[in-house]
Amino acid sequence: MKPAPFAYTKARSVEHAVELAGRDGEARILAGGQSLIATLNMRLSRPTLLVDINGLDGLDGLALKDGAVEIGALVRHAQAGRSDIIAKNAPLIAKAIPHIGHPAIRNRGTIGGSIAFADPAAELPACLVALGGEVVIAGGRGERTVKADDFFTGLFETELGSDDVLKAIRVPAANAATRIGFAELARRHGDYALVGLAAAARAEGDGLADIRLAYFGVGATPVRARKAEAELARGALDDAVAALADDLDPPDDVQETGAVKRHLAGVLLRRVAKQLMEGRQ
Amino acid sequence: MQIADDVPPGLTALDRPNSYIGRSVPRPNLARLAQGRAQYVSDVVLPRMAHAVFVRSPHAHARIKHVDTAAAKKAPSVIAVVTGAELAKVITPWVGVLTHLKGLKSAPQHAIAIDRACWQGEAVCAVVARTRAEAEDACELVEVEYEPLPAVTDPETALDPKTPLIQPELGDNLCFERKLDAGEVDKAFAESDAVVETTFMFGRHTGVCNEPRAVVADWNPGEQRLTVYHGTQAPHMMQNLFAKHLDLAEHQVRVLTKDVGGSFGIKVHTYADEMATVALSKLLKRPVKFVADRVESFVTDIHARDHRIKAKIGVKNDGTITAFEIDDLTGIGPYSVYPRTSGIEANQIVNLVGGPYTCMNYRALARVVFMNKNVMCQYRAVGHPIAVAVTEGLVELAAAKIGMDPVDLRRKNLFADDAYPAASAAGLKFEALSHHASTDKLVKMMDYPALRTEQQRLRGQGICRGIGFASFIEVTNPSAAFYGVGGAKISSQDGVTMKLDAQGSISCHTGVSEQGQGAEAVIAQVAATAFGVPMERVRVVMGDTDNTPYGGGTWASRAAGIGGEAAWQAGKALRQNVLTAAGSILQARPEALDIRNGIVIDADTGNERIGLDEVARVCYFRPDTLPPGFQAELMATRHYVPRAWPFAFTNGIQAAYLEVDIDTGFVTLIKHWCVEDCGTVINPQLVDEQIRGGVVQGIGAALFEHCLYDERGQLLNGNMADYLVPMAAEMPDIECGHVVSPTADSELGAKGAGEAGTAGAPASVMNAINDALRPLGAAPLTDMPFTPGKILRALGKV
Ligand SMILES: Cc1cc2nc3c(=O)[nH]c(=O)nc-3n(C[C@H](O)[C@H](O)[C@H](O)COP(=O)(O)OP(=O)(O)OC[C@H]3O[C@@H](n4cnc5c(N)ncnc54)[C@H](O)[C@@H]3O)c2cc1C
């Protein structure tokens, strides 16, 4: 389990990283290394160049800006988990973080790495989708932002091109009407979830509006359960659970069958709906 | 138990002044291990050492048509690229059979496959390079042309005439078959008030060691000697096998086993890649290292379990068990593993089913069939978890069927505590067990009635909890009956050589070995007590075939019971020798002296007479002052092997308390109890931790661990993300209790404790799950591991 040979460069700036990544067709950005190094060691990927962005200025910010929380790509999971700004303004992320791996992994793994890697069973991509956030990208042709709903394009595939560096993610800051819910089922603490659900909504009267249900572990990307969202908006929980049959088509994997996952998705919906109704947490 | 002649009545030999027996003394190797100063094989670096990496078959079964090594040979830093045919010139193949398992057959296995690869992961070519990384790079350049062959992957059809043969020369795919018919089974079933019949499934799993398998082999042509640094449980066994298959004499081979990062039975076998590494060293005349990486560990470390057992129990309405019957089918690998064979687990199951109970009607059939999957062999508690789950699963199903409390039903059928010696239906001989005392103790520890009340109360709130039990017996301290009688050169006896150094400390050389379980501590405790010095003055030397008495190593829960007794006897003998010398110096009768706390004293008064350092000084440096004709012998060796009983059976009972989330099928373990009887407890903390670790591995079998193969023989989850080892966060508190029935076969009276936890945990967890779900009308779950999906299906939710 040793990686195939590769070259390594430490980038001097985000621009330099973009340039290095663009110069070499098989370059890969190195952030926390918690996913990348494993794929290298197992020779599942064999980039020719690693561009190390650790320590670059401007990637580890964490701030409330214009009604949004902006989290720099290099913010570590552990750092985000300790942040008051996130606890107050992005409580969904705060709630999700303890479910990511184990402390050692959270100390190294980065928010940007998690979003860029786009593991379909990962927590943060689903949170980003549930919150309707966006991704800030520096590329060869300058900076751009992509909406979360458009960012995740396939299994481990995103809008990031080969010479793109993910700079930050942005999610709308929570307000008094914000409701969030999060639950996942993993066989062992710290495992990627069999099924998970990140949800956000706005309280409106006795009910909920702008419901966004983002499942993870059920498809190639985080999956919005749009029919269930609509049923839930009507206050029809049973119908929302039933609607998952249309919304989700989880494939079998080594742990469980798709049918079991779909059932579990329904259980999670009931649990998360309860959290959404219970008020701001 | 035997009372040694040199202690006052009422006390046993173990109660010598300053005895360490029965004390939770911190293990002497603790600081070394905790400070990262252990020496694992992976740490060994020798001059000119090269690294071996293996090209492994991606197919479960394929003809190897051609191996093109030209490109790999030219790769940077490559020293050699060696095929199976080339290596076969240095090392002979082996066949994993034992003559006492009648009819057991297997085919010759080569260190590297020659014509055919028979499982996914079998080595087909070796690359030796200066670094592991470069060897891996070069492996990618080896071009192997395979012709895929049909893979046999379903045990149920392995014996069908139309199923291809894995080893054509054997005539069929049957490795071993055993039948047993005791008492009058048919009559007993006919006379039963209730009969329960079901099929139990046990998933294939493996023992995941912290440190993977590792070997550094160093053939020195100048000395004509082979030194093998080996993470093994059985150094002398490996010395014999390396010699035998490399055409050397045993004295030309030294096996050194320093620290081993866990073994659990995984490291007591002959592995083709390790044998190949040793052969490569001989071929290349330089040190060669091989450390299995995690991914290759999953496809080459022995797997275990994987049994389908149709099972049946009969009971009377009063709870009397009338008969047991089992039909076991197990799919092993393409070869029976050398030298312990892949037939032992099934054989053990036949031996052990029904073992705690007086019922004498028992019929068993076991068939072991070859598969194109990774090889299978003995892993912690060999056969016990399966036999116990079958027996105890049936017992609780029967109790439910006749509406009897499962503890009451056990009490009705367990061998009485005063019934010994006794024999089971399968013919196992029990010297002294304590099933009833253990059950009483367990029931008290867990406050069983209160737990049932709580269970009922919570059920009213929709919370679904279950309590499950498992009585068990465990094979420990094996005599030659296990392997020796079957022709394997595996020592059941063990020895200890103890010597006094010039400052009055002792070193204690033993054939048993340390895997992290604390054997070193136990030997030191026994040696210190028997001889009479503080433990700080004992150094234990293990794992070196040049420097320890011939012995078996560590397996079948034998190190403390067998190695410990050898240490006890050696300590007594050396004490006698030292007292003879002291008597000569002091002009006193040796019988009137003793050694206490490192000082020779008057046995009667305790008055200090002479320090051990002084005895050593005189004997080593001024022997001229000793009386003429007197020769001090400050070194003694003793050996021990159980003779009166083939095995020292232990017994015990476990209970699991857990909650099933009936919406998700997830199981939360709340609490686990184990009361066991390993005879004399030398170090309570080490015993308890053996039990706890064993329970956790048993829980792994019940809930998590499963080597999943597809029908083409591909392992689907051979990595640490997908193969679920049990982790701390999911484990319950495990409370241990002990009943002490020492074996009279040794003065120490210690039996083994290493496998009891693993033996009973899967059964108790299974029974607890079924206890939780029974009121909901769920079909009993008998297919391990119990995943959420299986539980949901039993509940009819998916
Ligand atoms: C044992 C274990 C358990 C884990 N469990 C979980 C879990 O339960 N849930 C979970 O979500 N994750 C889990 N992880 C993954 C962990 O969260 C990773 O840290 C994360 O997925 C990737 O972050 P990283 O900083 O380590 O990225 P890296 O490993 O450095 O990179 C991952 C990928 O993203 C790319 N990348 C990284 N940063 C950028 C950037 N700024 N711009 C462009 N591309 C970039 C890299 O090129 C690479 O392809 C686990 C990891 C381990 C080892």
Are residues A107 and A151 located together in one domain of the fold?
A: yes
Judging contacts by C-beta atoms under 8 Å, the chain B residues touching residue A256 are: 787-789
A85 and A148 assigned to the same domain: yes
CB of B227 within 8 A of CB of B215? no
Domain boundary among A111, A138, A172: A172
Which backbone phi and psi does B774 adopt, to 5 degrees?
-55, -45
Chain A residues close to B665, C-beta within 8 Å: 260
Lowest mean pLDDT, pick from A22-26, A44-48, B20-24: A22-26
With CA atoms as reference, the chain B residue closest to A3 would be B133
Check whether residue B566 and residue B430 sit in a common domain: no
Q: Identify whether A57 is part of a domain.
A: no
Q: Decide if pLDDT at B16 tops 90.
A: no
Boundary (domain end) residue, out of B280, B300, B320 = B300
What is the C-alpha separation between A57 and B332, in angstroms, rounded? Answer: 57
Closest ligand 1 atom, residue A38 Cα: 53
* Token couple for A71: 């989290």
How many residues are there in chain B? 798
Same domain, B681 and B754: yes
Are residues A163 and A79 part of one domain? yes
Whether pLDDT at B2 is above 90: no
Confidence of residue A144 (pLDDT cuts 50, 70, 90): very high
Q: Which of B640, B659, B685 is the last residue of a domain?
A: B640
Is B34 in the same domain as B46? no
Residue B11, pLDDT score: 64
Q: Please list the alpha-helical segments (H only) found in B74-190.
A: 84-87, 132-139, 185-190
Q: A149: distance to nearest CA of chain B, Å?
A: 28
Alpha carbons B742 and B477: distance in angstroms, whole number: 12
Amino acid B54: pLDDT: 98
Q: Is residue B169 part of a domain?
A: no
Q: Which atom of ligand 1 is nearest to the CA of A110?
A: 25
Locus of tokens 């939360």: B668
Residues B271-285: tens digit of each pLDDT: 999 999 999 999 999
Classify residue B189: in a domain, yes or no: no
Same structural domain for residues B34 and B45? no
**Neighbour count for residue B456 (Cβ, 10 Å):** 10
Tell which residue, B640, B491, B637, has the closest CA to residue B555.
Answer: B491
* CATH number of the domain bearing residue B256: 3.90.1170.50
Residue B642 pLDDT > 50: yes
- Best residue among A20, A28, A35, A216 to mutate for probing ligand 1's pocket (most ligand atoms within 8 Å of CB) is A35
In a domain, B487, yes or no: no
Strand-pair category, B494-500 with B635-640: antiparallel
pTM over 0.90: yes
Number of Cβ within 10 Å of residue A258's Cβ equals 16
Structure tokens at B335: 């070869």
Q: Are A85 and A62 in contact (CB under 8 A)?
A: yes
Q: Are residues B672 and B723 in the same domain?
A: yes
Q: Is B679 in the same domain as B549?
A: no
CA–CA min distance B664, chain A (Å): 6
Do A67 and A32 share a structural domain?
no
Cβ within 8 Å of B, A 190-209: 190-192, 194
Same domain, A81 and A153: yes
Given A149, A172, A195, which residue is the final one in a domain? A172
Q: How many domains does chain A have?
A: 3
| Residue A143 sits in the same domain as residue A76 | yes
Which residue owns the Cα nearest ligand 1 atom 7?
A100
Distance from CA of B717 to the nearest CA of A (A): 7
- When CB atoms are compared, the residue of B666, B708, B726 closest to A185 is B666
Q: Is the CB of A73 under 6 A from ligand 1?
A: yes
Instruction: Please tell me if residue B787 touches chain A, with a CB cutoff of 8 Å.
Output: yes
The answer to whether B542 and B513 are in contact (CB under 8 A) is yes
Nearest residue of chain B to residue A191 (CA atoms): B721
The reported pLDDT for the residue numbered A84 is 98
Q: Looking at the structure, do residues B756 and B655 belong to the same domain, yes or no?
A: yes
Domain count, chain B: 3
- The per-residue pLDDT for A281 is 44
| Domain assignment present for B558 | yes
Would B160 be classed as within a structural domain? no
Which helix (H) or strand (E) segment holds residue B276: the answer is: helix B272-284
Mean pLDDT of chain B, nearest integer: 96
Regarding whether B93 and B79 lie in a shared domain, the answer is yes
A69 and A133 in a common domain: yes
Does A248 map to a domain? yes
Partner-chain contact A188 B729, CB within 8 Å? yes
Same domain, A22 and A42: yes
Residue ending a domain, choose from B640, B656, B672: B640
- Are residues B269 and B145 part of one domain? yes
Q: How far is the CA of A36 from the centre of ligand 1 (A)?
A: 7
For ligand 1, atom 3, name the residue with the nearest CA: A101
We report the CATH number of the domain holding residue A24 as 3.30.43.10
Query: Measured between beta carbons, which residues in chain B are less than 8 angstroms from residue A259?
Result: 798
**Look-up: residue for tokens 């950005």?**
A29
Q: A32 and A129: one domain?
A: no
In chain A, what residues touch B727 (CB-CB under 8 Å)?
188-190
- Reading the block at residue B425, the tokens are 């239906």
pLDDT-derived band at A185 (thresholds 50, 70, 90) equals very high
A 224-263 → B contacts, CB under 8 A: 254-257, 259-260, 263
Any atom of ligand 1 within 6 Å of the Cβ of A114: yes
Is position B348 within any domain? no
- Cis check for the bond before B339: say yes or no (omega within 30 of 0): yes
Start-to-end C-alpha separation, chain B: 57
Q: Mark residue B528 as left, alpha or beta (left: phi above 0; alpha: psi -120 to 50; beta: remaining).
A: alpha
Q: Whose CA is nearest to atom 40 of ligand 1?
A: A166
| CB crowding B649-687: b at 16 or more within 10 Å, else e | bbbbbbbbbbbbbbbbbbbebbebbbbbbbbbbbbebbb
Distance from CA of B272 to the nearest CA of A (A): 19
- Report whether B233 contacts B513 (CB < 8 A): yes
**Using alpha carbons only, what angle is made at residue B770 by residues B767 and B776, rounded to the nearest 5 degrees?**
160
Q: Mean pLDDT across the stretch B140-156?
A: 98
Q: How far is the CA of A163 from the centre of ligand 1 (A)?
A: 18
Q: How far is A63 from chain B (nearest CA, A)?
A: 34
Residue A182 lies in a domain: yes
Which range (A134-143, B15-24, B347-356) has the least confidence? B15-24
Judged by CB atoms within 8 Å, which residues 9-38 of A form the interface with B?
none
Name B135's Cβ contacts closer than 8 Å, sequence gap at least 6.
B51, B52, B53, B78, B127, B128, B129
Contact B636, B593 (CB under 8 A): no
Contact criterion met (CB below 8 Å) for B103 and B177: yes
Give the pLDDT confidence score for residue B10 in this predicted structure.
58
Same structural domain, A161 and A147: yes
Q: Are residues B552 and B633 in the same domain?
A: yes
What tens digit of pLDDT does each residue of B405-445 get? 999 999 999 999 999 999 999 999 999 999 999 999 999 99
B290-347 pLDDT, tens per residue?
999 999 999 999 999 999 999 999 999 999 999 999 999 999 999 999 999 999 999 9
First to last CA, chain A: 44
In a domain, A187, yes or no: yes
DSSP state of B319: S
- For residues B48 and B79, the answer to whether their CB atoms sit within 8 Å is no
Using the Cβ of A105 and the Cβ atoms of chain B, whether some distance falls under 8 Å is answered with no
- pLDDT of B1: 31
Alpha-carbon distance values, B291 to B10, B73, B110, B376, B513 (Å): 53, 21, 19, 20, 20
Residues A45 and A100 grouped into a single domain: no
Mean pLDDT confidence for B27-48: 94
Q: Are residues B287 and B435 in the same domain?
A: no
Percent of all residues in chain B with a pLDDT value above 90, rounded to a whole number: 96
Over range B215-226, report the average pLDDT.
Answer: 98
Distance (Å, whole) CA A232 – CA A229:
5
What's the mean pLDDT when you consider all of chain A?
96
Do the chains contact at A191 and B724, CB–CB below 8 Å?
Answer: yes
In-domain check, residue B735: yes
Q: pLDDT value at position B3?
A: 31
**Nearest CA of chain A to the CA of B714: how many Å?**
12
Residue B521: enclosing H or E segment and its boundaries? helix B519-531
Contact list in A for residue B666 (CB cut-off 8 A) is 185
Give the pLDDT score at B18: 84
Contact between A191 and B665 using a beta-carbon 8 Å cutoff = no
For B592-628, the pLDDT digits (tens) are 999 999 999 999 999 999 999 999 999 999 999 999 9
Choose the weakest-confidence range: A46-50, A120-124, A263-267, B1-5: B1-5
CATH of residue B415's domain is 3.30.365.10
What's the confidence (pLDDT) of residue B5?
Answer: 40
User: Could you list the residue range(s) of the whole structural domain that residue A83 is in?
Assistant: 62-172
Calculate how far, in angstroms, residue B281's C-alpha sits from the geometric centre of ligand 1: 40
Q: Is residue B683 part of a domain?
A: yes
Mean pLDDT of all residues in A104-120: 98
- Interface ipTM above 0.90: yes
pLDDT in tens, B337-353: 999 999 999 999 999 99
Please give the residue range of the domain that contains residue B575. 30-38+493-640
Q: State whether the beta carbon of A109 lies less than 6 angstroms from ligand 1.
A: yes
Of B136, B663, B708, the CB nearest to A267: B663
Q: Say how far apart CA B285 and CA B46 lie, in whole Å.
A: 13
Spatial separation of the C-alpha atoms in residues B697 and A200, rounded to whole Å: 40
In chain A, whose CA is at the least distance from the CA of B730?
A: A188
B450 and B498: one domain? no
A264 part of contact set with chain B, CB < 8 Å: yes
List all residues 6 or more positions away from A91 whose beta carbon is below 8 Å from its beta carbon. Answer: A174, A178, A180, A280, A281
pLDDT of residue B392: 98
User: Is the model's pLDDT at B238 over the cut of 70?
Assistant: yes
Taking an 8 Å cut-off on Cβ atoms, the answer to whether A260 and B789 are in contact is yes
